[in-house]
Chain A
Amino acid sequence: MSVSEATSAVELHGVDVAFRLAKGGSYRAVEAATLKVADGEFVAIVGPTGCGKSTLLNIAAGLIAPAAGRADIFGAALTTLNRQAGYLFQADSLFPWKTALENVAIGLEIVGTPKAEARARAKDWLAKVGLGAFGDRYPHMLSGGQRKRIGLAQVLIRDPKILLMDEPFGPLDAQTRQIMGNLLLELWSADRKAVLFVTHDLEEAIALSDRVVIMSAGPAARIIGDWRVTLPRPRDIAEIKLDPAFHTLHREIWHMLKSEVIKGYAQAEGR
């Protein structure tokens, strides 16, 4: 590939996802999803519950294979796990038997970084996420927000080119989410990785990202909208939400999303 030609960090081409059902037959979760994330771009995927946003993320991570279509990472087709991506999960994903420091250092240790160096760098990262004094705590001794910070450090210490985030702040309370959002933006602005951020919270999506992609309600969810967010950076999550431009954009996107959310609920209840 030539240098002048800008390759996308993540590129999904007509991706279909189907799950085999236990009773036989299959459930088509996502249909013909095409999505490009440029290098250094922060893209949020928003959609009603159960629309397959996380599934799309797992395709980009290489955790599941699409039924049709393909995923390219920096121009190369993804056939195994996406080694260039860091993944921040919604549920607790820290190793409960490792201390905070060990949890952060592990990402380096498994690629053969000497233990002492891995630990030293892990310490720096703990400080960056504001938990410098908590290195010897085990995950169960930390709050949900603190665990997310550790998770963020665990992923970022490996310096992945792409950051995949699956409703990472979903389980947190409103204040903590804001603080975590600001922390994420601060860390991201340092080296601008490509980010694919899944959320059901439209406000969070607009406040964080460069682009907001809307998915329809499942089954056979599709990408139905793509908005560019031109709000100035650096942003403060709390302040940006007071910006009139934020409101205009929010109203516009919500108008489309609302009908999908209602459809999503109707489907969930009809089942």
Chain B
Amino acid sequence: MSRLKLTALQVLVGVVSLAIWYVFTTYPIFGKVLLPPFFFSNPVDVVKQIVAWFATGVIWKHLYVTLVEAMLAFAIGSVGGVLVGFWFARQPRTAAVFDPYVKAANALPRVVLAPIFTLWLGLGIWSKVALGVTLVFFIVFFNVYQGVKEVSPTVLANARMLGMNERQLMRHVYWPSALSWMFSSLHTSVGFAVVGAVVGEYLGAAAGLGYLIQQAEGVFDVAGVFAGMFVLAAFVIVIDVVVSLVEKRLLIWRPMAGDARL
């Protein structure tokens, strides 16, 4: 399939979906509007709402707040995950002692922590950051732990025979290996940082995309809910593109999927 044709088809899917949405929410079919606009709004209103947000500029503040929360959650969660992951991987005894608690903490659905964090940290950004951190931490932690444990024994023996001491092993062997595992989960961890921020906002906040959606929902403004969802989706796509670019740079030494030579 040529690129042009592919793009045309992709656009077509979007246009048809929007058209169906529009028709079913606007025109009665057999005397009945199948999707009542009260519950489903319609594309025109949603677009109007989005345009209004951007025209007045109110959306920027909310986007900014969500972005800051997600980035803080990602940064703090990653640093914590890397440190603890390294520590556990190098100290099997500590890891064994803490193992059941790590498993229990990871098994807990993190959303239930949101009220506690709100209680502890208030309605500002930090309760959302904390929620995001609990999500990001475990992803990074497990990956770094794995990355340090799964260093090829031959590469390790070679490093030793080349004369590396513990610190050099850390820097030239364990660290790059752990980072490569962490980077390969970058999409997931960044995604979860955003989830933490938005869910936190939804459950109680003064600003942010989650707050925007929750406010619209509170006054049965379905167009506002949909508009918030579309803006959120676009926001996540932009972040994902950025992550892909970063990943491509950082993991340049890794064979691409489907590369025959390993």
Interface residues, chain A, CB within 8 Å of chain B?
61, 63, 81-83, 85-87, 89, 91-99, 106-107, 110-111, 138-143, 154-155, 158
Contact = CB atoms under 8 A, between A and B. Distances in A.
B161 A63 contact: yes
B158 A93 contact: yes
Contacts of A61: 161
Interface residues of B, number: 25
A123 to B, nearest CB: 18
**Could you say which of B154, B162, B180 has the most chain A C-beta atoms within 10 Å of its C-beta?**
B162
Given A140-B261, A140-B262, A154-B162, A89 B157 contact: yes
Contact of A111 (B163, B173, B261): B163
B4 to A, nearest CB: 33
Contacts of A98: 172, 253
Contacts of B259: 140
Contacts of B176: 95, 97
A54 B218 CA distance: 72
A93 B262 contact: no
Contacts, number: 70
**Could you say which of A97, A107, A110, A143 has the most chain B C-beta atoms within 10 Å of its C-beta?**
A97
B55 interface: no
B252 interface: yes
Given A95-B173, A110-B168, A140-B253, A87 B262 contact: no
Interface in B174-208: 176-177, 180
B70 to A, nearest CB: 28
26 contacts: A63-B157, A63-B160, A83-B163, A85-B161, A87-B161, A91-B152, A91-B154, A92-B154, A93-B152, A93-B158, A95-B155, A95-B172, A96-B253, A97-B180, A99-B253, A106-B172, A110-B165, A110-B172, A138-B252, A138-B253, A140-B253, A140-B254, A141-B261, A155-B162, A158-B162, A158-B163
A85 B155 CA distance: 16
A110 B164 contact: yes
B160 A81 contact: yes
B31 interface: no
A143 B163 contact: no
B154 A93 contact: yes
A63 B155 CA distance: 13
A107 B163 contact: yes
A201 to B, nearest CB: 20
A61 B259 CA distance: 35
**Could you say which of B152, B158, B180 has the most chain A C-beta atoms within 10 Å of its C-beta?**
B158
B100 interface: no
Given A93-B155, A140-B261, A86 B161 contact: yes
B14 interface: no
Given A81-B161, A98-B172, A158-B163, 14 more contacts: A63-B161, A83-B163, A87-B161, A92-B154, A93-B157, A93-B158, A94-B158, A95-B173, A96-B254, A97-B177, A97-B180, A110-B172, A138-B252, A143-B261
Contact of A110 (B152, B158, B162, B177): B162
Nearest to B255: A140
Contacts of A154: 162
A225 to B, nearest CB: 29
A54 B160 CA distance: 17
**Could you say which of B152, B157, B160, B255 has the most chain A C-beta atoms within 10 Å of its C-beta?**
B157
Contacts of B262: 140
B123 to A, nearest CB: 44
A80 B8 CA distance: 67
A61 B261 CA distance: 30
A243 to B, nearest CB: 35
Interface in B239-262: 252-255, 259, 261-262
B147 to A, nearest CB: 11
Nearest to B253: A138
Contacts of B180: 97
Nearest to B259: A140
Interface in B128-168: 152, 154-155, 157-165, 168
A98 B252 CA distance: 10
